[in-house]
Every structure is written in structure tokens, then in C-alpha cells.
Structure 1
Amino acid sequence: MTWTVMPTFDEYAQARETFQWDLPESFNPAVDFLRKHDDTSRTALRYEQPDGGLETYSFDDLDERSDRLAAALADLGVEAGDRVGVVVPQKPQNPLTHLANWKVGAVSVPLTVLFGRDALQYRLADSEAVAVVVDPSVRETVDEIRDECPALEHVIELGDESSVGGDAHAFDDLLEAHESGIDVYDATPETPTAIMYTSGSTGPPKGVRHSHALWLGRAAAAYNYFDQGLEAGETTVWTPADWAWGAALGGTLFAAWHHGCTVVGWPRDGFDPEAAYDLMECHGVTKAFMPPTALRMLMAVDDPEAQFDLALETFASAGEPLTSEVVDWVDETFADVAINEFYGQTELNLVVGNSETWFDTRPGSMGKPFPGYELAVLDPETHDELEPGEVGELAVKPGDRRVFFDEYWKLPEKTANKQTTEGWFLTGDLVKRDAEGYLWFVSRTDDVILTSGYRVGPMEVEEAILHHPEAEQAGVIGVPDETHGEAIKAYVQPASDDYDSERLREEIRDLVRDRLAEYEYPRRIEFVDELPTTTTGKIQRRSLRDREGLVDDTDE
């Protein structure tokens, strides 16, 4: 019998021994998230608008609206296998577009409104998206890059004909012009579902293509790191993280809907801890996915349990290691709230974590393997398995291959290199495992920077900096930062000796924000006469880390 809700296990050992993936033969996530529940009139989404207004959507409401959008997409010529971009913040139109895509068999490309022109252009062009649904805040940028995206035929902007101009389609008008009742695409767990982009250190962002089984893998993990407490009709889930991020989209929003829970949508430009507590009180949030940066900001509010009537049961966190200060703060500040760190990758799902139902959280530890996965710590060179206490590369084997990614989009060699001949999938993360099975993050094997929960490839930032005419060369690394985990630091070699350092710093920051994303700009910039390079002219980032006192014997 296939499972639609994760089985509950009282003991970790029992879960590891008993759980097996048993995916259904037929599976469309739009049907799973919206139609399988006993009471589809229950509230699925509570959307708090920026102006304070509240919209409430049942599972039936979302089903009907996504039907209409799916019919509109089909009328525009979107077919099974076509890619459709989604550049919308935490608004109902974000999941509605994903659901509509899957109802016609299209593949979603989740993208953040924080992206600038270069980041959006590369991803829309590389994915060969035929259509994109955009928030008004990014419409101008999409118009600017449209000629550079040859496959892009249709732009759909949120709003109606009174607010949407030019040759874009108005989202509201498309829904109004179409009826529900579309025949949902006959899908399976192997049907392509999404292309998500991840940044690397040695090249442009890679598109990670997944199939529908992805969402079942993320729903299973969420059930565990939310302490097996995702109960239909009783649990309310919220995250401040952008729904373009895999852990927020699949591990929070869609995981909650798979289990029949209510989700709160709250699009905001920044994170205000007082407002966040107020939101959690107002909506009775019981489970919250909070990146470490958000948790550190919540710590600035004195005695939140005295100031706010909170229903919180569990904080889940990922993106960067939690410090002991954050874990201790949760334990000391809240009477009965768990904090469970978890770990995953865009490619390899969410595979490690903590669950206070099973074992104590150890500050700084990634946790233990979730049921359904085998993990090993391998020698990065030989791929031999290492003993506990030794530092090596984390490698993962899924119980069902389908819950992992299918391929790096149009990059067969990189796809092949992700897996060893013994079937281990390589994470690129150096870890060690202690005698009790807890895993501890040490560093990346490459130069990826973990900042505010985002992974940032330094090469992309360096290339953006070099668009400034006064920047001759640039090297980018991550440096420790109390609030953001790591901050992006750029070493910049000016093109001449005649420059105003403060002006140039601000211009470089603004340039990177505009071209890439708000979170990718270098918070720290140091001007240098010369940058260390290899004999082939590549920046030696290890030398820059050494300059910061950050190099240890795990560096390659």
C-alpha cells in the first residue's frame, strides 16, 4: 500500500529499520496537494497582504483557480514538458502557477523576485522557458531581458487589464476568461516537475531537473523535522523564506499541503522580528521554518512569550549550521518549543536532520540520517568510507532513486560526476560523524558561500563586479558574520589609482544588487593593488581565505 501521509514512529531506530519508500504508480502533485483530503473545504492558505488585508483560500478554492489558470496556459499553447517560470513572492499566485503547470504537464522554474536582470535572464534563457508569471515588481526587468530569452513567448503579470500594460497578459483576466474542470495531466512520480537553479563556484548556475517524486521526498522529511506534527486541520505552518527556495517551497509550503495543513503567506521586503512574532500570534502558527539568520534576528526581542500569545511547537532551520547560542536561546526563552536543524541540497532532497521526538538536538550538529536514506563519509579523493571522527565528503544513497534529481539540465558530464560508481551521490560538503551517529558540518569542498540561508557562487559575484568599468579584477570569499552566518567579501583591484573608495564601494554594491540578487551583494569590500592568481590567471580564493585567517587543513 502506498503512503499518502508519513507513518509515525516512536523510536528513531524503528523508523530507520521500518520505513520504505512506496511511491504510487500515478501521481500528480496538484491532485495530491488539493484533492485527496477528507475535507477540501478546510483552509489551505491564509494570505496576509502587505497592506494588512487578509485573503483565505480553501483547498477547493485553490483547485478551482489553478484549473482556470491551467486552461489559460493551454490556450496560450503551453504543452506538457514546456518550462514556465514563476517569479512571484509569497502570494497565492505563486503556488497557483505551479499547480496549473502540473495540471497541463508543464515544468515549473521557481525564481525569486530578488533576482536582478542577469540572474533572471540566464535562468529563463537556459531553461528555455516559454512563459513566465511575474510580480509587478519585476515586470520592467523581464521586459528588459525578453529579447535575450528566445523561447519566451508569453509574460503573465499579476493584476488585471487596468494595471497590466504592454504585451503582457493580465493574470486576473486569464482566470476570469476560463472555466475550471480541466483534464489533469496523467502524471507519475517520474514526470518532470521543476528546474531549480543552484550556484556553483566554478561556472554559471546549474539547472537541477526534478520529477514529481521530489515533493513526496520533501513531505516525508518535513514530517520528521517538524516532529511528526503535521496534522491535517490542526497545524498552521509559516516561513519567512522565499517560496523560490526549495526548502521553503517543497519542505514547507507543499509539504504542509501534502499533509492537509494550513499555510500562511506573508510577502515582505525585509524581516521585522516584532512583526514576525505578531504574525505568528495572529495566525496561531504552530510550525515555523526559520533560517538561522531569521532566528538570530528574533533573538533581539525580549521575552517573546510574555509579549505574544504564541502557539509555537517547533522551529525547523536549515541553510547554514545553527550555533549553540541560537539553540540555547530557544531552550531558555520558550517553555515548550523544539528547534530542529536539517540539511539537504537542491539536487538530493532533505536527507539529514534533528527531531526531538527521537533524539536530543546537539548544537552545531546537522543531526542524523532521515529514514529512507543511507549516508557515508568518504575520502574526497579515493571515495573510500572513513571511520567516525574523520573529516570527509558527505555521500548519500536514497532508498528510491526518484526522490533525488534526474539531471543537471543540459549538463550530462556534471550529472554523471555527481554519483560514484558505487552509487553514492556526492554532496560537496565536508563533514565528520561522531560515535553516536551525529553529523557535523566542516566546510564546502568548493568555494560556495552560505549567507542568510542562501548558497552563493563567488564566480557569479566576481563577474558582476567586473561589469564596473573601474574594477580590474575581483576575488570573492565568505567570511564569518554574526548575523548572516557568512558575509560576502570582495577583494577588488581597481583599474587605476585614481578612485574614491567609498563611492566605488557603493557603486559596486548597487551594481551586484541590480544584476544578481539583493542577498548576493558584497557587504564587505577591500581594495587591493593586486590579487593572487594561478599560473593560468584564476583567482586563488584559498589565498584570500588565508589572508582572513580562515584556512585550515580541510581546505584543498
Structure 2
Amino acid sequence: MTTVYEAFCTTVAKYPDNPFLCVPAYDKRSYHPDGVEITYAEAAGEVERLRSTYRGAGFSHGNRVAFLLENRPDYLLHLLAANSLGVSCVPINPDYLDDEMLYLLDHSDVDLVVTIEARATDVQKVALQRSRPLPVVIFEKFAGHIPRPRPAPYPAATIGLMSEVSLLYTSGTTGRPKGCILTNEYFLTAGQTYLDLGGVAQIREGQERLYNPLPLFHMNAGAVSFVCMILSGGCLVIPDRFHPTTWWQELIETKASIIHYLGIVPPLLLNQPKRATDTAHNVRFGVGAGVEPELHEVFEKRFGFPLVEVWGMTETGRIFADCIEPRQIHTRAFGRPTGDMLARVVDEKDQDVPAGTEGELLVKCAGNDPRRGFFAGYLKNDDATEEAWKGGWFHTGDTVRQDGSGMLYFVDRKKNIIRRSGENIAAAEVEAVLQTHDDIAKVAVIAVKDELREEEVMACIVLMDGVPDSEEKAEEIFTYANDRLAYFKTPGWILFLDDLPTTGTQKIQKTRIFGPDVDPRTEAGAFDFKDRKKKSR
């Protein structure tokens, strides 16, 4: 198989009556409020209809289409139809504002936008601002009449492994998002890697129902999970997003056997009242990243299934997973290198560090082509691509450590390391401790300037509903952290906020908490504890 479409057709022939895509019932959602499920054969019929529509309009190898369809399963049907023609799909984060959307539509050189009617006015406004005005088609009225695209870049070339399937934009931290070019090789490798994990994450052919609440513009749901289910004849269950109050009911009703999560999910579920539905499900295991070690065992005992911590990036496609028993659930372990993805841990000069020492994680594919199965590059940014691959290894930007057995442990993103008086402090470690406080709903730990110590630790905290913020509460939280962390890691500043900005995948966007010229220490309500941090043990 050389394309995702070919893999889909193979499974259609083998498992035509197996369920392929499922949307759980949810009466507050604007689409499929009663839920829907389609088989591989039914999906194939719709894919062929869409394929005929795109081909009839002149779309072919190298054209791109942008989609703002939220988490509708229809996006995946359009992707399969487009993939059969060598057309690339560019999903749009529905939370994007005008400027962000304009950048994506302009930078990606898309030839068409398909959007839901509720967002049509917004999208049309932005499409007209593009350097080359862009046609917009309403998804609800998509009936076969779409504008012809510009001439396709590669109409005569054979569609194959290196043809572009999708262009996914990473969330920019220091600049504009980068467009990751993802090929058929990337999608098929990502899905197969998941399929081959084994251990407690064993995928049963033709039987799994994978519930993934993450957005389809993310590689997790839109590539790894999607293709794994295609390759195994399984069903992808696609809610609109994560709803803690309806989570268990949806798992039961959709007969989910696998779930995906992010670090924010376990504490929110643990905060829900205990119910009989906590264990009245068919879930065999969960896959995700970021569960706090203090909550990992607590979650598994209460809900009755293992959480498998994994590591991956949009650029890598492949994932590492701590899925072989005995799992290291009281740590931030995410597995050992297996298969054909190799790993190194290096210092700032790209020199290997001793076992147990923190450093940056570098990865590559074994063999003569270190980039095989990875993203094909950053669109229109060869310099950034080559910088990421300097020395023949992909530089992840993640700080990890590796023990003598090869097990890898996540520490933090390099940019989230706080440098205080010569000590390196992982923001994630401080967040993990604070998140276990009963009154804390969300927390983001950041570095703030300190005239004496270079940087100091600041905790930006959202309290649970009904818990008032006060100096006494800040004092309580400081003491709680100070009793559980080395003194230098304890927050020197605590600030209560009403909420924290997040991405579509519910990752906290620390760069958007404060404006670029704001000193967080001067914000109203910032409590100063830095002089209370004393080495006492």
C-alpha cells in the first residue's frame, strides 16, 4: 500500500460491515445530536461520491483544500477522497481568529475552503483578504458544484508514498505556526507504529472501538488513531470534544474499548462524583500523555484500566509508549526506543549525556534514511527544517532523561525549564505537585525575572468552582508546595486567575497568559513568597 486511500479500500474489502466512524449522542452539539455510526462500506460509498466531485472540478495531484469542519467525521471522508487524487487537506483550528486564519490560508496556498455554515461569514471575510482571493464552499450545501482550482503542481506524477496527505500547523510559541508537510508514508507509518505497540496496548484486529476526544486537526486523532483503525478494521469514535460530565456515559453507549487522553483529563474525571458507571465500561486501556504520577495509580484503581503514557510530536508521527509491564506509573516514563525509531539524550553541544542526566531528546529512523516516516519538512521554511535535523537527528525540544535500561522519562519542554540560582527547575514537576491540591483546577508554572536569582518560579492558578481566592489561600498553597518540593522549586510568586488560555487540544498556552511587555510580578493580586523560600532540610 502506498496511500491512505489504498489502505482504506483494502479494509473495506475485508470488513465491509464493520463500523468505521462513530459520533456519540450529545444533545448540546449542533450536528448529529442523536449520534451516528457508519460502516466501512457506507463510508466507501460517500468517499467515492466526494472523489467524483473533486475530480470533476479539476482537483488533482498537488492541490490543497482547507477545511473548517470542527470535529465532524465528514472531514475524514473528504480526506480519503482527496487522498485518492493526491489532493492535500489543511484542517483549520476552529478557535483561530481572523489573523491566524488568514496566515494559514495564505501560507498554505490552498485552492478552496470548505466550512460549516455557522462560520461561513468569518471564513469568507478572511478569504477575500488573501493575496489571491479564495473560493469558499459551505459544507452543508456541498452538492457537487465547486470552483475549479489553480493548475495542480504535479498532475502527471504518480501518487505514492511521498505524496502530501495533509498540512498540519504546529502551535507557534515564539513566532508564526509552521506548516508540517505530512505524506502517505508518514500517515501509514504512524498508524502501523500504534498497531505494533503490543503489551497492554495490544490492538485486536477488527474489534477495537477507539474513543478519541482530541481534535482532528491534531496528529493524534487525525493521523495516528485514524490510520491505526483503518489498518486494523476498527472503529474511530469521534466526540466533538472532551466533556467530563458525559464522558463515562458516552464510553458505555459507544462500547469504546480504547480511550485517548491528555494530562488535563484524569484530574477532571477524578474530580467527578463516584458513580456506578466508573467501571461499567468496556475500556481495555487508555493512551495519552501528561497524567501526573501522583494520580496515575489512583486513576487506574478507581476506573479499572491502565493508562499508557506515550510520547510523540507532529513532526515524528511515530510514538514511544510505556506499555510493557511492569510499567513505570509512578514516574513520567514514556517507554524505551523500539522498532525503527532511535533516540539519544544530548547536552547543548549535541554530545550524549550519561544515563540519568537530563538533556534534549533527539530521534531518527534507523537505517540509511533517518527521516523516513517523519514529516517531509516545514512548508516554505527549509532553514527551520534543516536546523531541526542538524547532525542527522531530529531535535525535539523536549528535556528528558534516560536510565540504564533505556527507559525514557519526560522532564519538560526546553522552553519550560526555569533557571534559578544555577538550578534547573522543570515547570511540569511543580505543576504536577500543585495539581494534586484539592482546590486547584488548573495551573501553569512559568519563569519570571528575578534581579538576584536570574529567574523565579511563578504559579498561575485557577481555583475550583466555589473556592474563593485570598491571601490565606495563597499562603496555604505555598505551604502545600513547600512541604512537597525542594525549597528552590516552590513557587516564589502565586497569582490567581479566572482561566488560562488553551489550544484546541486543551494544552495551556503559557505565552498567551500575559502580553509581551507585561511583568507578571506587577499584576494585581500577585502574592510574593520568594523571600520565604529557605533551605531548611
> Which TM-score tier does this pair reach, normalised by the shorter chain?
0.7 to 0.9
Deviations 1:487-539 (A, max 9, x none): 39899xxxxxxxxxxxxxxxx999x89x999977779967999759xxxxxxx
Partner of 1:199: 171
Q: In the alignment, is the contact (CA less than 8 A) between 1:235 and 1:261 conserved in 2?
A: yes
Residues matched between the structures, number: 446
Q: 2:332 aligns with which of 358, 364, 370?
A: 364
C-alpha distance in 2 between matches for 1:135 and 1:448? 40
Q: Which residue of 2 aligns with 1:385?
A: 352
Structure-2 separation of matches of 1:411 and 1:547: 44
Give the aligned partner of residue 281 of structure 1. Answer: 252
| 8 Å contact kept, 2:24–2:253 | no
CA contact (8 A) 1:113 1:137 kept: no
Q: 1:35 maps to which residue?
A: 10
**Which of 240, 255, 260 lines up with 1:267 in the alignment?**
240
Q: In the alignment, does 2:217 pair up with 1:244?
A: yes
Structure 2 residue 409 is the aligned partner of structure 1 residue 440: yes
- Secondary structure, aligned partner of 2:353: coil
Q: Does 2:318 align with 1:350?
A: yes
Distance 1:115 1:246, change over 3 A: same
Whether 1:53 aligns to 2:31 is no
Question: Deviations 1:10-59 (Å, cap 9, x if unpaired)?
Answer: xxxxxxxxxxxxxx5xx110120243351222211122354331322111
Which runs of structure 2 are paired with 1:398-409 in the superposition (5 Å)?
398-399=365-366, 401-409=371-379
CA distance in 1, matches of 2:510, 2:389: 33
Deviation at 1:326, TM superposition (A): 2.6
Cα-Cα RMSD: 3.8
Match of 1:18 in 2: none
Cα deviation code 1:117-152 (max 9, x no counterpart): 222211111101111222233222211211222345
Kept in 2, the 8 Å contact 1:114–1:517? The answer is no
1:220 equivalent in alignment to 2:189 = no
Match of 2:381 among 411, 421, 425: 411
1:6 is matched with which residue? Answer: none
Q: How does 1:54-453 map to 2 (within 5 A)?
A: 54-151=35-132, 153-159=134-140, 170-172=141-143, 187-224=159-196, 227-268=200-241, 271-304=242-275, 309-318=280-289, 321-335=290-304, 337-356=305-324, 359-380=327-348, 382-399=349-366, 401-421=371-391, 423-446=392-415
| 1:429 match: secondary structure | strand
Does the aligned pair in 1 maintain the 2:57–2:145 contact within 8 Å? no
What's the CA shift for 1:188?
1.9
Alpha-carbon distance between aligned partners in 1 of 2:339 and 2:505, rounded to the nearest angstrom? 35
Consecutive unaligned residues of structure 2, counting only runs of 5 or more, are 28-32, 147-156, 419-426, 449-496, 521-525, 532-537
1:225–1:316: 8 Å Cα contact kept in structure 2? no
Match of 1:44 in 2: 20
Write the distance in 2 (CA, Å) between the matches of 1:362 and 1:224: 25
Query: Partner of 1:469 in structure 2?
Result: none
CA deviation vs aligned residue, 1:443-501 (integer Å, no higher than 9, x gap): 3233699xxxxxxxxxxxxxxxxxxxxxxxxxxx999473787539899xxxxxxxxxx
* Normalised TM-score (structure 2): 0.74
Once the two structures are TM-superposed, the CA of residue 197 in structure 1 deviates from its matched residue by 0.8
Structure 2: distance between partners of 1:355 and 1:103: 34
The alpha-carbon deviation at position 215 of structure 1 amounts to: 1.4
Secondary structure of the corresponding residue to residue 325 of structure 1: helix
Question: Do 2:341 and 2:365's aligned partners in 1 also have CA atoms closer than 8 Å?
Answer: yes
Matched AA of 1:373: M
SS in 2 for 1:128: coil
User: How many Å separate the matches in 1 of 2:94 and 2:311?
Assistant: 24
Identity of aligned residues (%): 21
Whether the aligned pair in 1 keeps the contact of 2:91 and 2:168 (CA below 8 Å) is yes
Tell me, in whole angstroms, the C-alpha distance in 1 between the residues paired with 2:229 and 2:444: 32
Q: 1:397–1:424: 8 Å Cα contact kept in structure 2?
A: yes
- The answer to whether the Cα contact below 8 Å between 1:211 and 1:402 also exists between their aligned partners in 2 is no
